[in-house]
Amino acid sequence: MRKHRRKIIAAALVLLLIGGFTCRDHFVRLYVYLNDGSLDHYAWDSLVCTEGHMSARYGPWDAAVWREAGIVEFYTQRGWAFGGIEKGFYYSRSDTPVSFQAAGCPLTEDGAGWSWADPGGNHGYTRRIRPHWFWFEAVL
């Protein structure tokens, strides 16, 4: 009986781990909804007090401020040094979607959001969470 209990607990932990990675994007969107006031305040302060580009931390996440573009990105998943998948969410002062790191790649409407691609093969997708806030995924 004890061996079966251990196997059941191990299987449940594996399922929770897999489910956590699958549902992470949904949790991020929920976090933005539930913490809109503090996130708005952080984004506005970052855009007003920063010159050019700045990297910082916000809670558990790395953040990047792109002042000229009016964007503050929060990274919930970072890729490897030279490639990988980066995910997160960002604040857009103008309430318009942008490509990853405000690189200026043109966006194309794609389902419920927008996709982008650059000549080097990098591509991604962004979708609105709520006014001024967007979720992103970039494959580099």
In the three-class reduction of DSSP (H, G, I as helix; E, B as strand; rest coil), residue 22 is classed as: helix
The pLDDT value recorded for residue 109 is 94
Q: Which residues, 6 or more positions from 39, have their beta carbon under 8 angstroms from its beta carbon?
A: 32, 91, 133
The pLDDT value recorded for residue 12 is 53
pTM summary value: 0.79
The pLDDT value recorded for residue 22 is 46
The pLDDT value recorded for residue 78 is 82
Tally Cβ neighbours within 10 Å of residue 116: 22
The low-confidence residues of the chain, meaning pLDDT below 50, are 13, 15-22
The pLDDT value recorded for residue 26 is 78
The pLDDT value recorded for residue 79 is 73
